[in-house]
Structure 1
Amino acid sequence: MKTMRPPISGRRPPRGISLIELLMAMGGVSLIITSSAVLLHGVMRAQSESRRFFDDERTSARLARQFRADVHAAAQVAAQVAATAGERLVAFTLPDGHTIEYRHTADRRQIQRRLLAPGNPVPTGREDYSFASACAAVVTVAQKQIHLELGAEGADGELAPPGVVRPPRSPAEAKRKPPALVVEADLGRDLRFLPARDGEAQP
């Protein structure tokens, strides 16, 4: 004969979670989610700034290479001594009569290279060099040596002296480093673009 076990009257039923414990658990989960979101936002922002920096570096290298090639190919140069934003920085005249202009846009974030045919003010070609932050641009001419410099803006919008940094206009601008570029080249150095003299064979 099977003996039945008597019920245990002193055993407590399973205890559920209280409202306070539920709120504490939800608060902890919310804190973890918020911290993860802030960390992810910081990583994405750092990646974006890093991408802008390397884009500026590539743009600077491309501008330096093209500017140097234009100086070497030019026969004449006309520089704007104190060019305001949006005006021409320098113009090169090629041996075939074409003109290459470099302009600094009004927002100071872009250098434009424009190709002009003889007697035609409308550009036949244009190439833009865009930067993430505003910068100052100066072109100086010393005999046949052409000097292009890009750097941080001063208080007057011109190129800031070494060691002088203008206060940033926004928190985002404070984290961005303005482009820094110095290019020096000699006018007409590329012999392929020079007219042949008497007794010399033309290419």
Structure 2
Amino acid sequence: MNRRRGISLIEMIVVIGASSIILMVGAGMLHTLMRSERVATESLVHATNHARLAEQFRDDIHAASNATIEGEPGADYALQITNPNAAEISYSQQGRLLVRKETVATQPPRHEQFQLPADVRIRFAIDESGPQKIADLSWNFADDDTTTNAERAARPPLNPLKIEAVIGKDHRFQEATP
């Protein structure tokens, strides 16, 4: 009986081909896994940032004695808030950042920044139609003439954000002084 020793060239090619297919599928899955992890991390960072912004904005508006909008949406657009303790707070957009600046007469100014998604435009509004003044901060994508359809399609999904708060809510139970 003739015994075979070793492996043939055909067998070796089949093994190399099968292992290369397995490696390609594994590399593709690893790439997909890393991309989904990056997207999940970005979503978590944005969600945490949005929650922090909403809490800070509501606290500022509830403690405010007055709030005004200065400028038009664009370069010098800001929400100015005055507190009874002589603090001046302003919210303004600077590129991909929403900057909160708090100025108290006896202390150095305090800055806080909130990261915004790309191509987002901030809007401020004050509604005085009801019994209480309501301030809101909202955002949506800034679509201008230079934004192409391909850029719009490549954007990550973004839910519009709207934060509303009653101006001076923390002072509603204080007695009026004569």
Under TM normalisation by the shorter chain, which class is it? 0.7 to 0.9
Instruction: Tell me the residue number matched to 1:136.
Output: 121
Please list the CA deviations of residues 87-126 of structure 1 after superposition, one character each: whole Å capped at 9, or x if unmatched. Answer: 44211112232211112122xx321111123499xx6212
Percent identical: 26
Pick closer, same or farther for the CA change 1:166–1:179 going to 2, 3 Å: farther
Q: Deviations along 1:2-51, whole A, 9 cap, x unmatched?
A: xxxxxxxxx22423222332122112101101101111211221122122
- 2:47 is the alignment partner of 1:65: no
The equivalent position to 1:103 in structure 2, one of 74, 79, 92, is 92
CA distances 1:103-162 after superposition (whole Å, capped 9, x unpaired): 2122xx321111123499xx62122211343311100123332121122222269xxxxx
Other-structure match for 2:163: 183
Range with bigger deviation, 50-59 or 181-190 = 50-59
Q: Superposition pairs for residues 24-43 of structure 1, below 5 Å?
A: 24-43=14-33
The residue aligned with 1:169 is 151
Point out the structure with the larger strand share: 2
The answer on whether the counterparts of 2:71 and 2:77 sit within 8 Å (CA) in structure 1 is: no
Q: Which has the higher helix share?
A: 2
Contact 1:73 1:193 in 2 (8 A): no
**Which of these residues, 143, 152, 155, is aligned with residue 154 of structure 1?**
143
Following superposition, the deviation at residue 78 of structure 1 comes to: 2.4
CA RMSD of aligned residues (A): 3.0
- Whichever residue aligns with residue 187 of structure 1, its letter is I
Deviating 4+ runs (over 6 angstroms): 192-195
Partner SS state of residue 84, structure 2: coil
Distance (Å, rounded) in 1 between the aligned partners of 2:12 and 2:20: 12
Q: Which has the larger radius of gyration?
A: 1
Task: Tell me the distance in 2 between the aligned counterparts of 1:193 and 1:84.
Answer: 37
Taking the aligned partners of 2:148 and 2:136, their CA distance within structure 1 comes to 23
Letter in 1 for 2:169: R
Aligned residues, how many?
Answer: 174
Cα deviation, 1:61-94, whole Å, max 9, x if unaligned, reads 2211111111111122221352315x44211112
Partner of 1:8: none
Relative to structure 1, the CA distance from residue 63 to residue 75 in structure 2 (aligned partners, 3 Å threshold; closer, same or farther) is same
TM value normalised by structure 2: 0.81
Question: Distance in 2 between the 1:35 and 1:65 partners?
Answer: 45
2:99 to 99, 108, 112: 112
Gaps of 5+ in 1: 1-10, 158-164, 199-203
